[in-house]
Amino acid sequence: MIVLEDVQKRFPDGTVAVGGLSLTAPDGRITVLVGPSGCGKTTSLRMINRMIEPTGGSITVNGQDVAAMNPNELRRGMGYVIQHAGLFPHRSVIDNVATVPVLLGTKKSVARRQAMELLERVGLEPALAQRYPNQLSGGQQQRVGVARALAADPPVMLMDEPFSAVDPVVREQLQDEFLRLQSELGKTIVFVTHDIDEAIKLGDQVAVLRVGGTLAQVASPADLLADPVDDFVADFLGKDRGYRGLGFQATPQLPLREEVTVPIGSSKEQALRLAAGQRWILALDDQRRPLGWVEPEHLRDEVVPTMLHRGGTVASTEGSLRNALDAALSSPSRRGVIVDAAGRFVGTVVAAEVLSAVEVARADS
């Protein structure tokens, strides 16, 4: 557990970066610090491992006052991941990951073997191990940075906007990989981001900071979206917080509709016969997994992947109301595609029916 009590940081020029922050980061959970520029997020993070020394208050890690600890020993017990990975350019990927274990006395051969295991765990191909950082994409570099932070198996990880320097698609992949790893490892993590959507997706608890480094509110993502403490928090969360809050409401038993479907590779004649005057028909593979929507009258010969409209998202019966609503709103047919846990098609739903389920869920809560 990490506990900050009335932590302050005033720089020599009189600037107050953190003006009295009190916060607890529970064991095995992800605590996300979020807020506008200049609110002291990074400064607060760096005071935990004493890369910046506080000018007031106290910080304890598992009951130990960090001010009384040797800074180097303190940092060896904490993984640290930054925005641009911070890899050593002159070392190969595998040696970057093995750096801290070797410094701690692990034999190089053992450290390299463990590094290979970690690279695979964060989703990197073994063939990349002998490359150098400048030979990797931004997303690959960030994965190496996470692997290096995990190499000494630290109980605590500090992460300063680790995914903000990559494109949105890679960023989402890294976030998903990060959540998967955390479900396996259960680290105590303090994570800094300026992106409220990232904070809500990743955090077990989200701490919203005001400019000047004071705490505005700390709560679970669902509670934060449902009940912001004041206008500052509400404005920072954004105008669509009600919609995002649906992401934390499990999908109830929706009134799924039967849908006319066509197997991929079907002829135009078969598709037209099955469609029976409908503009859109859903194409499935041989495992009944949805592939996309097709307009039968525009087919030349048969239903092929290049003819499919893939604009509609797919929601799961085990997912959230937000996903179900988004599936209905984004579908070219305006019918949301719903699949079971194995990804097999089970039916469709329209937005009005999802909204009715939202009202029922609110009435029952």
The pLDDT, as a whole number, for residue 365 is 60
| Position 207 confidence tier, pLDDT thresholds 50, 70, 90 | very high
The pLDDT, as a whole number, for residue 32 is 97
More confident residue, 97 or 164: 97
The pLDDT, as a whole number, for residue 21 is 94
Least-confidence region, from 1-5, 74-78, 128-132, 197-201: 74-78
Mean pLDDT to the nearest integer, 124-132: 90
Fold classification of 261-364 is CBS-domain (3.10.580)
Task: Determine contact, residues 281/294, Cβ cutoff 8 Å.
Answer: yes
Q: How far apart are CA 13 and CA 15, in angstroms?
A: 6
Same fold, 2-248 and 261-364: no
Q: What's this model's pTM, rounded to 2 decimal places? A: 0.80
Query: Quick one: tokens of 299?
Result: 């087919």
| Position 364 confidence tier, pLDDT thresholds 50, 70, 90 | low
Least-confidence region, from 7-16, 140-149, 237-246: 237-246
Mean pLDDT to the nearest integer, 230-238: 91
Q: How far apart are CA 273 and CA 209, in angstroms?
A: 60
> What CATH class is the domain 2-248?
alpha beta
Asked if residue 30 has pLDDT above 90, the reply is yes
Query: Quick one: tokens of 132?
Result: 């150098």
Within 8 A by CB and 6+ apart from 207, the residues are: 23, 31, 32, 33, 34, 215, 217, 218
Residue (of 183, 186, 174, 100) closest to 140 by Cα position = 174
Packed helices 93-103 and 108-121: angle between N→C axes, nearest 10 degrees: 130
The pLDDT, as a whole number, for residue 28 is 94
Mean pLDDT to the nearest integer, 142-160: 89
Distances (CA, A) of 51 to 54, 80, 306: 10, 11, 54
- Look over the chain and give the mean of its residue pLDDT values, rounded to a whole number: 88
% pLDDT > 90, the chain: 43
User: Residue 75 phi/psi, 5° resolution?
Assistant: -70, -30
The three-point CA angle 211-212-217 to 5° equals: 65
DSSP strand pairing (314-316 vs 336-339)? parallel
**Extents of the domains making up the chain:** 2-248, 261-364
List, for residues 240-296, the tens digit of each pLDDT value. Answer: 888 788 888 777 788 898 888 888 888 878 877 877 778 888 889 889 999 888 888
